[in-house]
Structure 1
Amino acid sequence: MTPHQRFGPAKGIAGALTTASILVPAELVLRPLAPGRKTPLPWLFHRALSRALGIRIVAHGRPARRERVLYAANHVSWADIPVLGARIPGAAFIAKSEVGGWGVVGKLADLGRTVYVERQRRLAAPAQRDSIAARLGRGDSLILFPEGTNSDGVSVLPFKSSLFAVADGVSDLLIQPVTLAYTRVNGLPVTRRNLPDLAWVGDTELMPHARALMALGTIRAEIIFHEAVSPADMGGRKALARHCETVVADGYRRLMRALG
């Protein structure tokens, strides 16, 4: 049996539903028993979901082993969520507010303690920034996509310095740049031809893209955990954004050499 046969859309969807049916009820039961405490169930869910989707993850380096870390990662696909969630235990995502209304996906995001931001409401930005800073101040670690949207997978988009405002005033905070790339499909390097089935861009609907991704077969995702830095050492928000963008983009080019 080929990898493509093992991880077709039907098997991937069945695996994802099985994963959710086991771990989501467990999370609903455990959370009221330990309010405010982190459980390993979101991490287990992301690991199981990645495997169900046929994604095999290779990590270079490791996430910072401490509280109060803001991970700054590039954004290629909806699959980034389970992939990063599987390798960064205990961290929650910062996502656009629309995700909370995506039916089952939104409910799962809620269970994962996702922080929602309304990027189109500039007047709400200070309150949202303060809310995220409060989460970091309590010792939470968060995953930020500083591009502000998904890229097409060919290269990393510019990082928005305004999104790093959440780091202002948070003591003892570390920022760790993270590069994520989908590098191989069924053992062969990813090319521009099959990249659209991996990258989720534009107005593409979620479920059709998910079926196309699962139909590819076995996917190799690689993550580089770069050296963490202190915002106080970066000389301001813009310099911090440039540093993270440069490090992440360089890592992406190394991982995606086959694109030319």
Structure 2
Amino acid sequence: MWWIPLRIIRLQWHVARGVWLTHRARHYPPAVHAERVQTWLAQVLIILNIQTEIEGDRPAECGHLWLANHVSWLDIPLLGGLLSHTVFLSKAEIRRWPIIGRLAAQAGTLFMTRGAGSRGAHIALTEGLKRNQQVVIFPEGTTTLGLGVNRFHARLIQPALDAPAPVQPVALRYVTAEGRVDRRAAYIDDDRLTTSLWRILRAKKMRVRVRFLDCIPVQPTCALAPTPALNRDAITRLAEHRIRQALHQWDSP
């Protein structure tokens, strides 16, 4: 496993560069800083030799509320590296992670305590959507192996209705060379960040599938045959269904 020491060195330098970028953020226009953050996040997967397979059409660069199934802490650099001007809503525990928590906070991540509402986070997400930022949430509220989807929490969808902004479901799955679920990527149960990172460092190569699904409008269409607007629960269940369906399709031979 000759690649492990090299990856550790590269990752250490990359984290140090991330700290430097966050300190220098105020010296650059917001658009420039957002581009630098996106590049930095994308390079995390390059250093770890995680290859991304993209399916479906990526939507236009305007404000969307992205809903994704949650497998790993890797989901954040994955989606943050693919999307520009990204804001994440994450669990409060990540804020306490050494170095990573600080980097996430200074990159614009909003943190929410599990089981507690946060009006401040709701307002910030709504304003981000109005500014055409890409807001990413993991509405399961926990991580899984990626075999299926837990029930989505509908209250997290509200900023899309208030902005208003389209809802964009996206399905994620980390897979082996044979196409089976790669359990090394999953950050579940009582896993620790150091243990998870060591598993990923030991893997010579990993793959992740990303499927962009059909966008869900939150307002009636203006076509000749208009589609009525969906309520919050209907949007949530539809997004959940589409992601679950995508995961099942990957299971099919």
Q: Return the letter of the residue paired with 1:188.
A: E
Cα distance in structure 2, aligned partners of 1:128 and 1:119? 13
1:24-173 equivalent positions in 2, closer than 5 A: 24-29=19-24, 31-34=25-28, 36-37=30-31, 38-122=33-117, 125-171=118-164, 173=165
Is the 8 Å Cα contact of residues 67 and 239 (structure 2) preserved in structure 1? yes
Cα distance in structure 1, aligned partners of 2:34 and 2:121? 25
Cα deviation code 1:88-111 (max 9, x no counterpart): 122121111221221211111023
Is the 8 Å Cα contact of residues 7 and 54 (structure 1) preserved in structure 2? no
TM-score (normalizing by structure 1): 0.85
| Amino-acid identity (%) | 22
Cα distance in structure 2, aligned partners of 1:20 and 1:88? 20
Q: Secondary structure at the match of 1:168?
A: helix
Cα distance in structure 1, aligned partners of 2:122 and 2:88? 14
**Structure 2 residue 162 is the aligned partner of structure 1 residue 175:** no
Cα deviation code 1:138-173 (max 9, x no counterpart): 3322111011110132212121112112223213x1
**Structure 2 residue 247 is the aligned partner of structure 1 residue 252:** yes
Cα distance in structure 1, aligned partners of 2:249 and 2:7? 29
Q: Which runs of 5+ in 1 are unaligned?
A: none
Count of aligned pairs: 244
Cα distance in structure 2, aligned partners of 1:12 and 1:62? 32
| Aligned residue number for residue 22 of structure 1 | 17
**Structure 2 residue 178 is the aligned partner of structure 1 residue 188:** yes
State the shift of 1:7 in Å: 4.4
